[in-house]
Structure 1
Amino acid sequence: MKYLYSVLFVLLISVGVITQESDAQMHSSDADHSDHAITILAEDYAFDAPDEIPAGWTTIEYTNEGEEQHFMIIARIPEGKTFDDVASQVTPPCNEIWYELRDGEISQEEAFEKLGVELPKWFWAVEFMGGPGLISPGLTTKATVQLEPGNYYLECYAKTEDGEFHSIEGMMRGLTVTDARSEAAPPEADIDITLSNFELDIEGTLTPGTHTVAVYVAENPEEGFGHNVHVARIEPGMDIDEIVRWMNPFEITGMQTPAPTKLLGGMQMLPEGQTGYFTLDLEPGRYLFVAENTGHLGVMQEVNIE
């Protein structure tokens, strides 16, 4: 099954810890959707976002107003199911399995096996549709993805200083994409990134200033771990391996506050054969483009900006 391990892990650390929607989650943005652009604010720990949006190409202006690193992945729920179905049918087994894994009572392999047995079959049809990558507090990024009508959920599974997932604290909510459709087009990119199971290729000249990056996921004959890219600044004397380890959510302390460096955004997991876009503001220096699930396997690229 394509993306099996990513689905299992994202599920394990996020969907499985839904408890209830906080009051902050219920607030809707007043953004004008006429140009198919919306504003979503990341807080500690909630999304200030619309309850529904029209279908088509959607540009998300994503601002981190919290004091911890945040991202937002967008997941499409299978037809006929809702956010409440995810919460009621997936939460109990995932809660139990996650805490067993975190407390060292079972291994990752055992956790995956238990999830495969205890979760409803319809959940394996969930599709991860991209979303803004990790950004540090006070920063804003834009991500553009194509969304079809249906029920979705938004979430951030970065971790607090105490090692709790942000989704546990409230950073998960439903989103409805309606049948209404705008004629918005995707942005024009000056940088292209191609992702496959175990490769990350960058085309174009990265210079100081603002860039629009197109992220394309190549079709792969072999089963992989999902496809995403995040951008981190490499400070002088910093160990790249430290960033890669921190970026890997399979690590118990991966994505835990505080982040080891400045995070500038990226694109969350996309389906094979699809493209998403994100903006990137660069200053002179060194940067690491890295996949969260497979950076430790070499899916990364260092870039020097003169």
Structure 2
Amino acid sequence: MKSKILLPILILFLVLACKNDNKKTEPASEEIIEVEETIQEPENVIEIVTRSMEFQSVDTIPSGWNTFKYRNLSNETHFFLLDKYPEGKTVENTLTDVAPVFEEGMDLINEGKSEEGFAAFGKLPEWFGKIVFSGGSGLIAPKHTATTTVKLDPGYYIMECYVKMPNGKFHTSMGMAKPLIVLDKDSGNQPPEPTINITLSGEEGISYDKAITKGKQIFSVFVKDQKPHENFIWHDINLVKLDANASEEALEAWMNWADPKGLITPVPSGVTFLGGVNDMPAGRTGYFYADLKPGKYAFISEVPNSKSKGLFKVFEILD
């Protein structure tokens, strides 16, 4: 659970993060659609590549501002989230202290016993509540790329994705959990100049300072406040392209991991995820890049009942 009480499913699945034993994912093509293909790339980009169920990237990076270019070459929708662990704790602690608790809770939820499942999460160790969720990309569709800029403090991090396989198995347990050391040395980088400023609030919803038009955009995302929602998840922001057959109701329901059918492959019909900024504490700002074509889009947070909270905003890009 991402709160002082419980944190969400995010880390459950740091448990088996070594090899990809997924039998359902086909080998990925090297072809890729660059969402930000016409945007001027920043310097000193950190490359992340997923071909099936893994993060291929460096093991250490400087602290401060860093821009990540995440190329999803796989056939699954993914994201990456950066979890800053408390001092002295590593993925090995998750194996012994956390994995059994999450396995018990998630098994109960998938059996339809949500109340018992959430109660089981109360057995999580005290140190687990000290994990700081420090940003990352929003959800990104297969064969697409997400470019995201965040500011990181020195420390030990886990890079993870916890989208579910069709059988309910989490990507993290399939190998999508990579330790990342953020060094004391500062990168010296500066954040990009945004074209549109977004404010993200659990109390006030999603707002932005000007009309969104087609073409190159760099969005800043300021987290005005932060809190756990009914599924214990903090609010984040994801950019979504909606085709004519896309159901807003299906998308909203899918974004709730606590539903056994939520956050699970395949994504709802007509929905293409184009990145965003993952969970961050209140007061922080992250950035993401996009190249918008005419059509229907939405910003949405990974929380239940996002529309009524103002955390699901649909907009049109005109030709």
Quick check: TM above 0.5?
A: yes
| Residues 179 and 35 of structure 1: CA distance in aligned 2, closer, same or farther (over 3 Å) | farther
Superimposed CA distance per residue, residues 228-248 of structure 1 (whole angstroms, 9 cap, x where no aligned partner): 011111211432111111222
Kindly indicate which of the two structures has a greater share of residues assigned to helix: 1
Distance in structure 2 (CA, Å) of the matches to 1:237 and 1:20: 36
Q: What is the 5 A alignment of 1:80-159?
A: 80-104=88-112, 106-107=113-114, 109-116=115-122, 118-159=123-164
Q: Displacement, 1:195?
A: 1.0
Contact 1:83 1:152 in 2 (8 A): no
8 Å CA contact retained: 2:218, 2:290: yes
What is the match of residue 317 of structure 2? 305
Instruction: Map Cα deviations across residues 201-257 of structure 1 (whole Å, 9 max, x no partner).
Output: 12223111121110111136x765412011111211432111111222222111222
1:269-288 correspondence to structure 2 within 5 Å = 269-288=279-298
Residues in 2 aligned to 1:51 and 1:2: alpha-carbon distance in whole angstroms:
25
Correspondent of 1:229 among 221, 237, 244: 237
Output aligned runs, 1:200-219, within 5 Å.
Answer: 200-219=206-225
In structure 2, relative to structure 1, the CA distance for the partners of 1:48 and 1:115 (3 Å cut) is same
> Given that residues 19 and 91 in structure 1 are in contact (C-alpha distance below 8 angstroms), is that contact kept between their aligned partners in structure 2?
no
Q: SS where residue 156 of structure 2 aligns?
A: strand
Matches within 5 A, 1:148-227: 148-198=153-203, 199-219=205-225, 224=229, 225-227=233-235
CA gap 1:157/1:23 in 2 versus in 1, 3 angstroms:
closer
Mapped partners of 1:152, 1:250: distance in 2: 24
CA RMSD in angstroms comes to 2.2
Tell me the secondary structure at the aligned position of residue 48 of structure 1: coil
Q: Which amino acid aligns with 1:88?
A: T
Q: State whether residues 16 and 92 of structure 1, in contact with CA within 8 Å, keep that contact through their aligned partners in structure 2.
A: no
**Cα distance change of structure 1 residues 304 and 189 upon mapping to structure 2, 3 Å threshold:** same
2:47 to 17, 34, 39: 39
CA distance in 1, matches of 2:44, 2:85: 21
CA deviation after TM superposition for structure 1 residue 4, in Å: 5.0
Relative to structure 1, the CA distance from residue 266 to residue 282 in structure 2 (aligned partners, 3 Å threshold; closer, same or farther) is same
Q: In the superposition, relative to structure 1, how do residues 219 and 262 fare at CA in structure 2: closer, same or farther (>3 Å)?
A: closer
CA distance, structure 1, for counterparts of residue 131 and residue 124 of structure 2: 12
Give the alignment partner of residue 60 of structure 2, picking from 52, 65, 73. 52
Identity of aligned residues (%): 34
C-alpha contact 2:53 2:176 (8 A) present in aligned 1: yes
Output the TM-score relative to the length of structure 1: 0.88
Structure 1 unmatched ranges of 5 or more: 25-33
Q: Which AA in structure 2 matches 1:156?
A: C
1:168–1:110 CA distance, 2 compared to 1 (3 A): same
CA distance in 2, matches of 1:268, 1:120: 24
SS of aligned partner of 2:159? strand
Change (3 A) 1:304 1:289: same
Partner of 2:15: 18
- Normalised to the residue count of structure 2, the TM-score between the two structures is 0.84
- Measured after TM superposition, the shift of residue 42 of structure 1 is 2.0
What secondary structure is seen at the aligned counterpart in 2 of 1:188? coil
Give the aligned partner of residue 268 of structure 1.
Answer: 278
Q: Deviations over 1:10-52 (max 9, x none)?
A: 34xx42461242289xxxxxxxxx9542000123211111111
- Which runs of 5 or more structure 2 residues have no equivalent in the other structure? 22-41
Aligned residues: 290
